[in-house]
Amino acid sequence: MRALTGWIAGHPVLAFLVVFAVFPFLVPYKALATQVLIYGLFALGFNLLYGYTGLLSFGHAAYWGLGAYGTGIALAKLQVGSLWLALLAGPALAVVGGVVIGFLCLRRRGIYFAMLTLAFAQLLYFVGFHLADVTGGDDGLRGISVPPLVLPGVRIPLDTSLAFYYFAFALVALAVAGLKRILDSPFGAVLQAIRENSDRAVACGYDATRVKHLSFVFSALFAGLAGALDALRLNVVPIESLYWSTSGQVVIMTLLGGAGTFFGPFVGAATWLVLEDRLAVFTESWPLVVGAIFMAFVLFLPKGIWGTLLARLGP
Amino acid sequence: MADLTLATLAAQVFTGLVLGMILVLLAIGLSLIFGLMTVVNFAHGSLYMLGAYFGFFLVASTKSFWLALVVAPLLVGVFGLLMERFLVRRLYGRSIDDPLLLTFGLSLVLVEAVRLVWGKIGLTLDPPPALAGAVNLGFTYFPLYRLFVIGVTVVVLVALLLFLEKTNVGLIIRAGSRDPVMVRALGFDLGRVWLLVFGIGTALAGLAGVLAGPMRGVYAEMGVTIVIESFVVVVVGGMGSLPGAIVAGLVIGQVVSLTTLFAPKFAEIMVFIVMALVLLVRPSGLFGEAGLME
C-alpha cells in the first residue's frame, strides 16, 4: 500500500492515465465516470489556487460558468461548426474573467479575497440571469449539439457516452500534465513559497501579486475547460452553473479529497458524486448529510481523504 | 418614467432605508465577529433565516409578535453561543480560512434542516395588528411596520454603540480587536469575550430575520442572497469598522432601492458594481484602515 501511494505520488501523470483509462469499467455506469473526470478537472483548477497558492476562492462558479456558456453559446447561438473552436471559446472567456476579476480581488488579501470572489461570481450570475437573449436566462441555455471530433484523417462522432468519455479523458490528461508542468516549474515553486509565507516571498524579490494573479488565471483556465466539457456533456448550460452553490461544491470536493495534493481533487469529486448518487435515493435532504460530513472534515480531517492517506502511509 | 413623482421617489428612498437597516444589522454582527476573532461567519445568513423561522414559530404558538421579536433573537444568540463554544472555538489558531469553511458547511446543514422541519414552501409572518396599515408622512403613505423596523434598528444600534463605548466590557471588546495579546497579558479572559461577541453578533442576525420576515417572507433560502449583500456592505464599509458598516449598509440599501425604481434589471448587479468601484478607489473600504486585519 505504501509502495503504491508512493508510486502514485511520484508519477502523477502516469498514474492518472492508468486509473482513468479503465475507470469507466470500474464504476456502476459510464456517465458517472465522465462526471468524475470533469468535476475532478474543475477541482484541480480550484486546487491550484487554494491548495498550492493558498488563496481561497468562493467564486469559482464564475469560471466554470463562463467556460460552459462560452462553449455553449458558440455552438447553440453562433452555430460554430467546429468542436475545437467551440472548445476554445469557453476557456478563453473564463481566462478573460479570471484576468479582470483576479485583478480586482487581489487588491485585498486574506479573508476579504474569499468574500470578493464570491461577490463577483454572484454578479456574473445575475448578469447571466438577466441576459436571457444570450444565455437563456432562468431556463438555461438549451440546444447545444456536439459536433464530431475532426482530427487529421479521422472524423469521430462523440454521440456515445464511451466516445465522449475518452475525448474528455484526453483533454483532462493534457490539463493534468500541464498542471504538473506548472507545479514543477520555478513559477510553481514561487506559488508554494507564497502559500507558506507571502511576506518572505516578497522579501526574496518576487512580485507576489503578479504571481498570484497568474495562478488565478491558470486556475480559471482549468475551471473554464471543465465547464466547457460539462456543457458538451449535458447539451445544456443550467443557470446554476454560475450560482454560488457551484462554487461551494468545488470547495467541498477539493477539501474532501485533500487540498494541496495532486489527486485530492479527483478523489474528492468521486466521493461527492458517489455520495450524492447514493444518498439521493434515500433522502431529499442529502445536502444536509454532505454538509455535516464536510464540517467533520474541516474539524477533524483537514487534509482530506487523499492527503490523510499520503500522510499516514508516506509517499 | 413619466409617472415619476416626488412621492414615489420618497417612498422608494424609505424602502431603501428599511432594506439598509436590515443590512446594517447583519453587517454589524459580521463585522464585530470578524473584528474580534477574524472569523467570517458564512452561516450568518442562515442565522438570519433561523431568526425568521423562530419568529414564525413563536408567533404561531404564542400569538404574540412582541414576544417573538424579543425571544427569537435570543434563541438565535444562544445558538450562536453554542456554535462558538463547540465548533468555531476548535479552529482558533488554524488557518483563517477554516472557520469560513466550517460555517459554510453549517449553512448548508441549517438550510436543509429547516426544510425538513418546516417544509420547503415559504411561510408568511404577519405584522402585529397594532402595526398594520400605513401612515401619512405628509408627502407619501408608508407602511407603519416599516417605520417600526427603522425605529427598532436605530434603538438597537444606539444601545450597541453605548455598550461598546461606555461600559467596561465594551472597552475590553474594543481593546481585544486592537491587540488581543496585550489584553490577555493584562489578565482578561478573552475566551469569554469572544463567546459574548459571537452571541451578540448572531442575535443581531436573528433580530434582522424576525424584522424582515413580515416584509420579505420566510423561506429556507432567504439568507443566501442577503448574506452575500452583507459581505459587500462589510467590504464597502471597511471590515471591523462599525461606522463603516452603518454608512455602507444605508448606501447599499439606497442603491438597491433606487436602481429597482429606475432600472429593475440592474438592481442586484448595481450592488456589486458599487463594490468594484470602491475597491478600485479605496481598497480598504470607506472607513477601513489600510493593512488593518488582513
Q: Do B38 and A287 touch (CB under 8 A)?
A: no
- Residue B134 backbone phi and psi in degrees, to 5: -125, 160
Topology annotation, domain A2-313: ABC transporter involved in vitamin B12 uptake, BtuC (1.10.3470)
Average pLDDT of every residue of chain B = 89
Contact residues, chain A, for B115 at CB < 8 Å: 285
Which tens digits make up the pLDDT trace of A120-139? 999 999 999 999 999 988 89
Q: Which of A118, A295, A302 has its CB closest to that of B228?
A: A118
Query: Do B144 and B12 contact (CB within 8 A), yes or no?
Result: no
Distance CA B104, CA A289 (A): 14
pLDDT of B199 higher than 70: yes
For chain B, give the percent of residues with pLDDT over 90: 53
* Pairing between β-strand A149-151 and β-strand B141-143 as defined by DSSP bridges: unpaired
pLDDT average, residue stretch A94-103:
96
- Check CB contact of A252 with chain B, cutoff 8 Å: yes
Which tens digits make up the pLDDT trace of B142-178? 889 999 999 999 999 999 999 998 999 888 888 888 7
Task: Please list, in sequence order, all residues whose beta carbon lies within 8 angstroms of the beta carbon of residue A59, skipping any fewer than 6 positions away.
Answer: A101, A116, A117, A118, A119, A120, A121, A122, A244, A247
- Residue B178 backbone phi and psi in degrees, to 5: -80, -50
> What is chain B's length?
294
**Cell representation of residue A182:** 506548472
The angle at the Cα of A66, spanning A61 to A68, to the nearest 5 degrees, equals 95
Contact residues, chain A, for B294 at CB < 8 Å: 108-110, 112
pLDDT of B293 higher than 60: no
For chain A, give the percent of residues with pLDDT over 70: 99
If you search the block for the grid coordinates 492517506, which residue do you land on?
A309
Of A25-29, A223-227, B11-15, B174-178, give the range with the top mean pLDDT.
Answer: A223-227
pLDDT of B291 higher than 70: no
pLDDT average, residue stretch A66-86:
93
**Pick from B290, B289, B288, B292: nearest CA to B27:** B288
If you search the block for the grid coordinates 438550510, which residue do you land on?
B111
Q: Do A255 and B34 touch (CB under 8 A)?
A: no
Q: Do B91 and A285 touch (CB under 8 A)?
A: no
- Residue A155 backbone phi and psi in degrees, to 5: -140, 110
Contact residues, chain A, for B91 at CB < 8 Å: 298-299
Neighbours of B294 (CB within 10 A): 15
Determine the pLDDT at residue A282: 86
Question: CA-nearest residue of chain B to A108?
Answer: B283
More confident residue, B265 or A39: A39
pLDDT of A108 higher than 80: no
Query: Do B77 and B206 contact (CB within 8 A), yes or no?
Result: yes
Contact residues, chain B, for A56 at CB < 8 Å: 97, 100-101
Show me where the domains of chain A are located.
Answer: 2-313
**Pick from A57, A18, A53, A43: nearest CA to A222:** A43
Q: Do A291 and B108 touch (CB under 8 A)?
A: yes
Q: How far is A116 from chain B (nearest CA, A)?
A: 8
B6-281: what CATH class?
mainly alpha
Query: Do A110 and A55 contact (CB within 8 A), yes or no?
Result: no
pLDDT of A164 higher than 70: yes
Determine the pLDDT at residue A314: 67
Q: Do B90 and A299 touch (CB under 8 A)?
A: yes
Distance CA B87, CA B48 (A): 19
pLDDT of B1 higher than 70: no
Which tens digits make up the pLDDT trace of A274-305? 998 888 888 888 889 999 999 999 999 999 99
- Residue A193 backbone phi and psi in degrees, to 5: -65, -40
Paired residues of B142 in beta bridges: B135
Distance CA B219, CA B187 (A): 45
Average pLDDT of every residue of chain A = 91
Query: Do B198 and B33 contact (CB within 8 A), yes or no?
Result: yes
Q: Do A115 and B224 touch (CB under 8 A)?
A: no
3-state percent helix, strand, coil for chain B, nearest multiple of 5: 75, 5, 20
Determine the pLDDT at residue A315: 54
pLDDT of B75 higher than 90: yes
**Pick from B225, B208, B204, B203: nearest CA to B150:** B208
Determine the pLDDT at residue B289: 65
Determine the pLDDT at residue A216: 97
Q: Do B112 and A287 touch (CB under 8 A)?
A: yes
Determine the pLDDT at residue A307: 92
Contact residues, chain A, for B101 at CB < 8 Å: 56, 251, 255, 294, 298
Neighbours of A108 (CB within 10 A): 20
pLDDT band at B210 (very low <50, low <70, confident <90, very high): very high
> Which of A49, A126, A254, A286 best tests the B interface by mutation, with the highest count of B CBs <10 A?
A126
Which residues 101-160 on chain A approach chain B with CB closer than 8 angstroms? 104, 107-112, 114-116, 118-120, 122-123, 126-127, 130
